Structure 1
């Protein structure tokens, strides 16, 4: 639908007005795209909306910030044709499993995936790992292990490799370089989805949703995806160990630190005092909050740098 509207209106965009009801409709569509993780569609809609000249500057700034965030956190949105169609997650996995099973009769298929893992772009490596995870061949698991321990790589792709190894049925400890150190994790303990992380860690992102759902309903979708990327960054390190052993009060500490970081990145400004007050961060928690904020700040800085 978006592409059709853009085709009709784009030639005379300077003469068009985005009426309030129309703007509200597109805002609702944007929310739906974010809720269902249709980030390519969200990006296209934002690009379309930013062409209207009569929109309030504050709204334009917000849309521009959201578009920049999508480019930064989800580089695959820059390639619209690369996004898979929206399907039920379990159905999608089953279809992929059947597809891989048929393809593995061709020895060249597995070799092609392994070559993409070694030489492809970040997006190609992710795609290769997602497919390799469904190949039940001992030598494939060994190749992925060798690739993982070979040298430092982006934390996102390292976590995807661990998930692929777990899908293959691999188990035991594996040691590999991450964030400037050597880490060791048990393959079978790797969470395959957000719901497999410990409850305390899941509560941290739920808390962001509780605080932002009224004033900024779209905010939690960005926060949730950023939190998942952060967990991939932290997994296997002392940061993740601290998250696992965190006391109940740490939920508010980490949630508010994430909220502050994202607020600043998305909108260029943050009312830190208001955020601390909303999350109930008292003086005795300030030092803990500053540490969490610094960790998240370092994550965002590294993540943005490695994708640029």
Structure 2
């Protein structure tokens, strides 16, 4: 990391994301991001001191949050979901439809962040007219692929099943609602292996690189879900794990650090000449996604 650079716009993007994580009390994710940012040697000294102080504060004030057991994580997630469901159902029953109407307005007129928030809450409202509203909203016109995927997840949580057709990435896609993954671990194992491979390769030289890679990969899966790209990922052979993992690694390395030793990276992943066309295809697909949906760091 001695020769890498954190570009100003990239730094601003990370700081905005860090602020969102802290406001949402997602301290574990905030710590991971701070650890990643503190790897960059060229950052202003005052800024790096602030990040280090914040990292120390998180470790001191929330040790159980920082290092929870996998069992407690599962229990906490389940408890949080149950509490949120009860809260929303109580709100829905208490105000004769005003709360639901507010969420509908957020979904129709709000920012992307507000729409995500609305879907997170609508997912717990078990009313046929609400799920029909979300379906109509999803099918109405093209929308950001992240929010489209979020709507599919909400519909699945509502108990909806069957096929749904909607415009996405310039085409009409058809998906089965109940097959929608709700978490990263719900995706097929081969797709999960692709991002795990990035972690295996980067854990020694860039141990926190996989944080950004994982975030990008999840956004890419939302972008690809239901399209021919996702079908291609589902049907790939085991060798394609290294192809997609190395293509993602190469693109993010160049985007974050401004340069990348591609030949050495391909050798590390075991990409041989016979895989060149497949690698170029994966690189082109991921590159188009990154250019369209992630901020330009330069």
TM-score, structure 1 length as denominator? 0.74
Give 4+ residue runs of structure 1 displaced > 4 Å after superposition: 41-46
Residues in 2 aligned to 1:185 and 1:115: alpha-carbon distance in whole angstroms: 26
1:132 maps to 122
- CA contact 2:36–2:209 (8 Å) conserved in 1: no
Task: Pick the aligned partner of 2:92 from 82, 88, 104.
Answer: 104
Q: How many residues get paired?
A: 246
Instruction: Measure how far apart 1:90 and its partner are.
Output: 2.0
Counterpart-to-counterpart distance in 2, 1:44 and 1:102:
40
The 8 Å contact of residues 159 and 232 in structure 1, kept in 2 or not, is answered as: yes
Q: Which has the higher contact order (CA 8 A, sep 6+)?
A: 2
> What does residue 36 of structure 1 align with?
28
The 5 A counterparts of 1:83-98 are 88-98=76-86
Name the residue aligned to 2:210.
Answer: 220
Alpha-carbon contact 1:35-1:221 (below 8 Å) kept? no
2:280 paired with 1:290: yes
Question: What is the aligned counterpart of 1:238 among 208, 224, 228?
Answer: 228
TM-score (norm. length: structure 2): 0.76
Which consecutive residues of structure 1, in runs of 5 or more, have no partner in the other structure? Answer: 1-32, 68-84
Pick from 189, 193, 204 the counterpart of residue 194 of structure 2. Answer: 204
Deviations 1:153-172 (A, max 9, x none): 00000000000000000111
Would you say 1:114 and 2:104 are equivalent positions? yes
CA shift, 1:91, in A, is 2.3
> Contact 1:34 / 1:218 at 8 angstroms: preserved in 2?
no
Change (3 A) 1:258 1:44: closer
CA distances 1:255-294 after superposition (whole Å, capped 9, x unpaired): 0000001111111111100110110000000110010000
Is contact 1:34-1:42 (8 Å) kept? no
Structure 1 residue 104: Cα displacement: 0.8
Match of 1:191 in 2: 181
Alpha-carbon separation, structure 1, partners of 2:185 and 2:207? 21
CA contact (8 A) 2:161 2:178 kept: yes
Residue 164 of structure 2 corresponds to which residue in structure 1? 174
- Decide whether aligned partners of structure 1 residues 184 and 45 sit closer, same or farther in structure 2, where only a CA change above 3 A counts: closer
